[in-house]
Amino acid sequence: MLVKHTKCRDPLGVAQYVLDKPGAEVVGSNLAYPDDAHAIAAEIRFSCRDSKRLKLTTYHASLAIAPPERLSDDRWHQVARDYLAKMHYGLSPYLVVRHTDTEHDHIHIVAGRFDLSTGKRVPDSWDHYNAIEAIRDIEAEYGFELTPKAGSAERQSPTVSMIRHERDTGQPAVKPELQNLIDDLTGQVHHLDELADHLEQAGVELHVKPINETTIGLTYHFKGLYFSASQLGRAYTLNGLRTFRGIESPQDRQSVMDWWERRQGQPSAGVEPGPTQGEDHGQPERHAESQAQGQPDLEPDPKAQPQNQELAGVDLAPKPLEAQPRQTQENEDRNRKAQRQRRRQKQRNRQMEL
């Protein structure tokens, strides 16, 4: 069984999505009007009214079972209720809708993120890890066939230090936080280009680097730390994003590098980028300025040629740097001289005391 889930700010959009699909069928709900998207949104918003700090009010999950197996509507409703209970949404308003637009028999769950029994928001720490565990429990309880997508191999499990960090600080460790973020985003997009855009908006830098003649590696930079895709799990590699998350991307090595270079606005590998706009590059900039003003293109003065070449072709930045070691040495000499003077003064003071 496969699970994808995300959290949304407003329930109306996701309610309209799950209900408006051709062949959509409501198989279970505890809402007053489960067929009306606006009524669903109003009820979920009302359930969250007591939490002013809750921004992501809606939980959206899809559960799919591997073909050719199919479940009845009642069976799907029961599976959905068990899943919601394991994810701590058992006492929240919810809607379960069955879709038939793919070969995988699957349902969509929409729920409010406020627990009416506790008066608090539903906790979302280790959300994706808990979802995988919930699916594994359901597969065992219902006798469903275990699928690779429900296994933990696609995502590295939290370490003891991560669990202690969350317990002691109340904040998730960076690695599982990044995993959860990628998991949420991969449930919303379909192409690697979209994923890279969403990651950038969320503060994650994606880096692509060839490992060998056939393999491309991904690296994620988040909150000052770099994580290779393999450190996060198989599902976060380029091939894993295609296999486990359904993210479309270029297939062969050269296509991936071409995509990456186009995205970065860089020339092909091995070619240094040219001067960027706005930098001072001497004579070429003055030449462009004279053309913009309608002045004739004058032949440079041979006597001034060395000077022009120096301005155009020599990087002047290292000159101040060359003076830094000399300046540092002078500072050290002054410090040593001052220390010797202080020692002499102390010796004179002792002699005067004697």
**Residue-range domains of the chain with CATH:** 1-150 (3.30.930), 164-264 (no CATH)
Rounded CA-CA distance 219/197 in Å is 15
Q: Tokens at residue 276, please?
A: 């960027």
pLDDT in the model for residue 95: 95
**Regions of the chain with pLDDT less than 50:** 149-152, 267-323
Residue 316's pLDDT is 47
pLDDT the model gives residue 324: 54
Name 12's Cβ contacts closer than 8 Å, sequence gap at least 6. 37, 38, 40, 41
Q: What region, left, alpha or beta, does residue 138 occupy, with left being phi > 0 and alpha being psi -120 to 50 degrees?
A: alpha
pLDDT at 300: 45
Counted residue by residue, the chain has a size of: 354
Between the alpha carbon of residue 209 and those of residues 12, 212, 216, 217, 241, the distances in Å are: 41, 9, 6, 5, 16
> What digits encode the pLDDT tens for the residues 309-341?
444 444 444 444 444 555 666 777 777 778 777
| pLDDT given for residue 200 in this prediction | 93
pTM: 0.47
Find residue 219's DSSP bridge partners: 207, 228
The Cα angle at residue 312 between residues 309 and 314, in degrees rounded to 5: 80
User: How far is the C-alpha of 214 from the C-alpha of 34, rounded, in Å?
Assistant: 51
The set of residues, in sequence order, having a beta carbon less than 8 Å from that of 198 and lying 6+ positions away, is 185, 188, 189
